[in-house]
Amino acid sequence: MIMLKLYCFPRSGNSREVKIVLAEKNISFQPIDVHANKEVKETPDFKKASPKGTVPAIIDGDVYLSEAFLINQYLDHKYPDPPLLPQDEQKKEELLKFVASIDKKMVLNIGLLVIECLLKPKAEQREDFKEKKRAEVLAGMRELDLMLEGKEYLFGDYSLADVAITPHLAALPILGSGIPAELKNLTAWFKRIQSKPSFQRSLS
């Protein structure tokens, strides 16, 4: 059987979202590091899987797909054990909207922090910009903390909503930020997530 191919690179948060789901569902895959092998991005296969040139992207048989959340929905549909989306249609709609909005705000802001703090030369980094983004991320974390009141996971059971923010929040310590201890629900949620084997397996 041909193994699923995942185009990724080790520190890519978006790729880690897919790695978590592959681990949850125990799917074997062949990782292809597009940073270690720069020529990969020029191949017809990669271009077909990812017309925008971003990772993650997969090839699974005759399916070529990019965008972390689209890939994860595809994987959940094809490999339903364990299910990572609610059965209830209305709840599923809410989850889809939640992930779309988290991608536009929290995940984007953390991505901008990665560029500013890690990828730019020190002399070009703007401290005021970093502070602004850290404050916006903190505001987002407060909302998540409220949403987690009385719940183990964002939508009750562990789901693609939790997966969509996990690697990004996990990156905060290297960006001069983190989950404040006063956000008790979010702190407990993150401990729960970290104890899952899928979290550990997504880190490479």
Ligand X SMILES: N[C@@H](CCC(=O)N[C@@H](CS)C(=O)NCC(=O)O)C(=O)O
- Classify residue 155 by its DSSP letter: B
Would residue 12 be called left, alpha or beta, if left means φ above 0 and alpha means ψ between -120 and 50 degrees? Answer: beta
Residue number, 104 or 191, with CB nearest to ligand X: 104
CB of 188 to ligand X, least distance (A): 27
Residue number, 169 or 183, with CB nearest to ligand X: 169
CB of 73 to ligand X, least distance (A): 12
CB of 167 to ligand X, least distance (A): 9
- With tokens 């997530």, the residue in question is 193
Binding site for ligand X (CB under 6 A): 12-14, 34, 54-56, 67-69
Coil/strand/helix, residue 28: coil
Residue number, 113 or 183, with CB nearest to ligand X: 113
Whether a cis peptide bond, with omega within 30° of 0, leads into 31 is no
Residue number, 14 or 73, with CB nearest to ligand X: 14
Q: H helices within 2-126, ranges in order?
A: 13-24, 44-49, 68-78, 89-102, 108-114
Residue number, 58 or 183, with CB nearest to ligand X: 58
Whether a cis peptide bond, with omega within 30° of 0, leads into 82 is yes
CB of 159 to ligand X, least distance (A): 17
* Cβ neighbours of residue 149 closer than 8 Å, sequence gap 6 or more: 185
**Closest CB to ligand X: residue number:** 54
CB of 33 to ligand X, least distance (A): 11
Phi (first) and psi of residue 134, to 5 degrees:
-60, -40
